[in-house]
Amino acid sequence: MALSKIIKLAWRNLWRHKRRTWITVSSIGLGMAFALFLIALGDGVYKKLIDQGIRLEAGHVTLEHPDYEKAPAVDRYVGPLSSISKACRSISGVKRIRPIIRGQAVISTSAGSSGVGVVAGNPEEEKAVSLIPGKIVEGRYIEKGDKRGVVIGKSLAKRLKLKVGKKLVLTTNDVNGELVNELLRVKGIFKTGIEEADGFLVQVPLAVGRRIYKLPDDYVTRIGLILDDPKDQDSVMEAVSAALSGKNVAVLPWQKVLPDLSSYIAVDKGSNIIFQITILFLIGFTILNTILMSVMERQREFATLLAIGTSPLFLKAQVLVESAFIGLLGCVLGLGIGGSLSYYVEKNGLDMSSTFSKGTSVAGFTIDPLIRTDLTMGLMLWLGLGVFLGTMVIGLYPAFKSGKVDIAQTLRMN
């Protein structure tokens, strides 16, 4: 059959200039490996940032009063917690339900005062989700029975000269708008490396928060849902919305709750894409150059083949199959190198502490110096398909040219 002949001819033609073919295939492969690794690395960093963000704020999906997002205030509370929890627990993909009360306050000591964010949560739940319980450097984390216990960040402690066991006064407005004062005792000091947490966040048990702000029983300001797999976010949101329909509850994705982080990731992805497109463009140029060169120097051969009765379509198909081989080999090399590199870094992590200065942060979140790639089958598939199809598209022009040879004129040239 002609097709097997086309493939055979194309394959042999590919290796007429072994060096040139290898240079092209390796430039596709290396460029692709580089792009794959960078994308996987970026995705890994984003994944970690998102994870940190949701651990600090609430969850992948957040349930709150419909007006809370516009103007967060403790009187816009959501509940009853028991029935919402019950409804959410039956939805598959929901791993944890994390109720918190979030409010603003000023804390004062003899050394001074500072505005802070208050996060009141169930210590048991927080230990499983929040960053802070694992970052205690002095004292201990709050416990359910702590009537006046509070944990504060290292830099806040430094500013207000606070130590474990010391007292502080927390001043805030309750749900009725009345000024309240509460005496609390420092149980522990944490250090996350995230300045927004270490300098401005305090945590108290849920019951203490409810008492301070005078929230009704079974009501909180936010219910965070932690998912088994963040990719299920959309479907879980749909199910939650359906389960809670009729209740006065807004179901929000983390992107709404952490808008700064979300827009940072979008911008960063955008600039990465420009970079990746530049790489792919350069690769594309190499491919075009190689295929075009191999077509131009075979003009005489093409003229001969046409003269003895080969159809122009046969020639075009042959050149296109050559491009396909180049694209295929490049993809195998690129996905092989990029994939194994990404896989390795996903498993072992890449310690960037020498590159990142301590506490490099984006949108208020510190980048962990041990970064891991996030390699997915989908990414490999899309990149592979993209590069392969790109090669084929680039190969169209040389293929078209091969069938357009002026036979008589070309054969005259010696």
Partner 1 sequence: MKEILGLEAVTKEYGQGDIKVFALKDVSMSVNQGDFLALAGPSGSGKTTMLNLIGGLDRPTHGKVEVDGVDISRLSGGALSRLRLHKIGFVFQAYNLIPVLTAYENAEYVLMLQGASVKERKRKIMSLLKEVGLDGKENRYPRELSGGQQQRVAIARAIAAEPALVLADEPTANVDSKTAKALLDLMERLNTEKGITFIFSTHDPAVMDRARKLVHLKDGKIEEIEEKESKTREPNAD
Instruction: List residues near partner 1 by CB under 8 A.
Output: 2, 5, 9, 12-13, 16, 300-301, 304-312, 314, 407-408, 411-412, 414
Minimum separation from the CB atom of position 414 to partner 1 (A)? 7
Radius of gyration of the chain from Cα atoms? 31
Minimum separation from the CB atom of position 232 to partner 1 (A)? 53
Q: Which is nearer to partner 1, 362 or 407 (CB)?
A: 407
Which residues fall within 8 angstroms of residue 369, CB to CB, at 6 or more apart?
Answer: 351, 352, 353, 355, 356
Q: Which is nearer to partner 1, 71 or 408 (CB)?
A: 408
Rounded CA separation 186/202 (Å): 10
Q: Which is nearer to partner 1, 263 or 311 (CB)?
A: 311
DSSP 50: H
Using DSSP bridges, classify how beta strands 112-121 and 94-109 pair: parallel, antiparallel or unpaired: antiparallel
Q: Which is nearer to partner 1, 250 or 411 (CB)?
A: 411
CB count in 10 Å sphere of residue 232: 17
By the 8 A CB rule, do 105 and 172 touch? yes
By the 8 A CB rule, do 140 and 146 touch? no
Minimum separation from the CB atom of position 269 to partner 1 (A)? 45
Minimum separation from the CB atom of position 325 to partner 1 (A)? 14
Say which amino acid occupies 83: S
Which residues fall within 8 angstroms of residue 300, CB to CB, at 6 or more apart?
Answer: 410, 411, 413
Minimum separation from the CB atom of position 314 to partner 1 (A)? 7
Residue 125: CA count within 13 A, CB half-sphere = 22
CA 292 to mean position of chain CA atoms:
39
Minimum separation from the CB atom of position 381 to partner 1 (A)? 33
Q: Which is nearer to partner 1, 2 or 282 (CB)?
A: 2
Minimum separation from the CB atom of position 5 to partner 1 (A)? 6
The DSSP secondary structure of 338-362, one letter per residue, reads HHHHHHHHHHH-EE-TTTSPTT-EE
Q: Which is nearer to partner 1, 16 or 161 (CB)?
A: 16
- Collapse the DSSP code of 68 into the 3-class scheme (helix H, G, I; strand E, B; otherwise coil) and give the result: coil
Q: Which is nearer to partner 1, 115 or 309 (CB)?
A: 309
Q: Which is nearer to partner 1, 10 or 150 (CB)?
A: 10
Residue 184: CA count within 13 A, CB half-sphere = 31
Minimum separation from the CB atom of position 394 to partner 1 (A)? 22
Which residues fall within 8 angstroms of residue 53, CB to CB, at 6 or more apart?
Answer: 254, 258, 261, 365
Minimum separation from the CB atom of position 17 to partner 1 (A)? 11
Q: Which is nearer to partner 1, 350 or 407 (CB)?
A: 407
Minimum separation from the CB atom of position 295 to partner 1 (A)? 14
Q: Which is nearer to partner 1, 173 or 410 (CB)?
A: 410
Minimum separation from the CB atom of position 344 to partner 1 (A)? 39
By the 8 A CB rule, do 91 and 80 touch? no
DSSP 199: T
| Longest alpha-carbon distance in the chain | 101
Q: Which is nearer to partner 1, 124 or 297 (CB)?
A: 297
Closest CA to 130 of 81, 68, 71, 202: 202
3-state secondary structure 292-344: HHHHHCCHHHHHHHHHCCCCHHHHHHHHHHHHHHHHHHHHHHHHHHHHHHHHH
